[in-house]
Amino acid sequence: MEDVKVSQTVRNQQSIDRAFASHYGKSMFLAIIGLLILTFIGTRMFTHVDLNLYGYIVGTIVFIGGFFYRFISWGERPPTKVIIKKGIKLLLRKNTPKTSVEQLATYRFIWNRGIYRWTQHILIGWGCVLAILVTFPLVFSWMYFTMQENGMYTIVLFGMDLMVVPADGFIAFMSYNALNISAIMVIIGVCMALYRRLRNLQARAEQQVIYDFLPLYLLLFISITGLTLTVLNLFFEGKGQYVMSLIHQFSVIVTLIYMPFGKLAHIPFRPLSVFARNYREHYGEKSMQACKVCGTGFVSTEQSQDVINVLGENNLTFDMKEGFNLAELCLPCRRKYRISRFSGFPTHEVSVKEANQNAKG
């Protein structure tokens, strides 16, 4: 009986999949349907829609399409499949909450690189997250405000009155200025990043204008134009606000369209770092792969075997005549072995300095 139910479930899944030309098409369709449902609920059956935000809506939908395209094409790669499949199974590990906080909230992995780089990442990362948490609910009218005659604001969330706050109170003040605060955070963080990249000789040699600097310029431009809107409203009686709002909207739309295909894509991809960390820690606790040359444990046995399997799927074999796979050597010994193959010297005769024996990572 259970086999019949499983078979029926598989057939139903196959029927759904055949309704779409690809996984991308199905994912995009379901995402748009989900957005429509949430917007239908949030706007009380489309009775509260701000048409001034139409451009942001279009930009967001294009961003979602680009994100799914990038994610699915990336997720179909054999190494990524391994991480995602095993990462999902390990989500219930007791260390997952701690790992999630370190990877997604406190950026502890960057702290080891220096407080300066940690600070710039905190400012940029949390500035962007704060802006997203405020902007998307407003754009799709999941959240909005109504003002009563007695000077009180009602915060409406998904069509339900969430709370009533004084128009001149702290909560209202933070609500008005959340995007301004996020803009200031991003501006400071981006300026710190630009300063470091322009002053650090190694960073200057490795960075590319389009890939590494353009994302920072886009974030800086969005933040400055957003703050300018506030300045025009407070100190210039709104003069020029219409033109500046169009410039700001255009910059946001361009960035949303660019995001899935450039360096900024690591922002929505960042949660998957929890999968990778869980994968390394869980299988590392089980058993470590000992290097076939020096005997040092360098990665988990599972990871070493997964690397060999993935290479095999791609018809790449690195089986050496000595009876081991190149993936079974630690990084320093792998370098020594490659030097010996190119130079003709036996591996054990390659000097430590030449092989960069103390290299990390």
pLDDT digits (tens, 9 = 90+) for 269-280: 888 899 999 999
User: Has residue 87 been placed in a domain?
Assistant: yes
**Amino acid letter, 14:** Q
User: Has residue 39 been placed in a domain?
Assistant: yes
Question: Among 15-29, 143-157, 316-330, which is the least confidently predicted range?
Answer: 15-29
User: Has residue 281 been placed in a domain?
Assistant: no
Q: Mark whether 173 and 83 lie in a shared domain.
A: yes
Give dist(CA 328, CA 322) in Å, integer: 12
Give dist(CA 300, CA 287) in Å, integer: 6
Domain closes at, from 274, 298, 318 = 274
pLDDT higher than 90, residue 219: yes
Q: CB within 8 A of 355, min separation 6: which ones?
A: 332, 333, 335, 336, 339
Torsion-angle region of residue 93: left (phi > 0), alpha (psi -120 to 50) or beta? beta
* pLDDT recorded at residue 122: 95
Domain closes at, from 253, 274, 295 = 274
User: Has residue 339 been placed in a domain?
Assistant: yes
Q: Which domain holds residue 81?
A: 2-274
Give dist(CA 98, CA 108) in Å, integer: 11
Total of domains in the chain: 2
Distance of CA 183 to the CA centre of its chain: 19
Count of beta carbons in the 10 Å neighbourhood of residue 59: 20
Count of beta carbons in the 10 Å neighbourhood of residue 50: 14
* pLDDT recorded at residue 162: 84
Q: Which of 360, 312, 305 is nearest to 327 (CA)?
A: 305
pLDDT, mean of residues 117-131: 93
Paired tokens of 293: 């040359």
Q: Mark whether 261 and 310 lie in a shared domain.
A: no
Give dist(CA 226, CA 201) in Å, integer: 32
Domain closes at, from 274, 298, 326 = 274
Q: Mark whether 244 and 301 lie in a shared domain.
A: no
* pLDDT recorded at residue 9: 55
Q: Mark whether 250 and 122 lie in a shared domain.
A: yes
Q: Mark whether 267 and 305 lie in a shared domain.
A: no
User: Has residue 65 been placed in a domain?
Assistant: yes
Percentage of the chain with pLDDT > 70? 90
Q: Mark whether 306 and 211 lie in a shared domain.
A: no
User: Has residue 190 been placed in a domain?
Assistant: yes
Q: Mark whether 262 and 298 lie in a shared domain.
A: no
Q: Mark whether 207 and 331 lie in a shared domain.
A: no
Q: Mark whether 27 and 110 lie in a shared domain.
A: yes
Paired tokens of 241: 């606000």
Paired tokens of 226: 């957003």
pLDDT higher than 90, residue 224: yes
Give dist(CA 189, CA 177) in Å, integer: 18
Percentage of the chain with pLDDT > 90? 25
User: Has residue 360 been placed in a domain?
Assistant: no
Q: How many Cα atoms sit within 13 Å of 6 on the Cβ side? A: 3
pLDDT digits (tens, 9 = 90+) for 344-354: 766 655 555 44
* pLDDT recorded at residue 308: 87
Give dist(CA 188, CA 195) in Å, integer: 11
Q: Mark whether 235 and 97 lie in a shared domain.
A: yes
pLDDT digits (tens, 9 = 90+) for 147-184: 877 778 888 888 788 888 888 888 888 888 999 999 99
Give dist(CA 66, CA 75) in Å, integer: 14
Q: Mark whether 240 and 294 lie in a shared domain.
A: no
Q: Mark whether 37 and 69 lie in a shared domain.
A: yes
pLDDT, mean of residues 89-114: 90
Burial of 192 (0-12, 13-18, 19+ CB in 10 A): middle
Q: What is the CA radius of gyration of the chain?
A: 26
User: Has residue 279 been placed in a domain?
Assistant: no
Give dist(CA 142, CA 48) in Å, integer: 10
Give dist(CA 313, CA 82) in Å, integer: 12
Mean pLDDT score of the chain, rounded to an integer?
83
Task: Tell me the three state secondary structure of residue 320.
Answer: coil
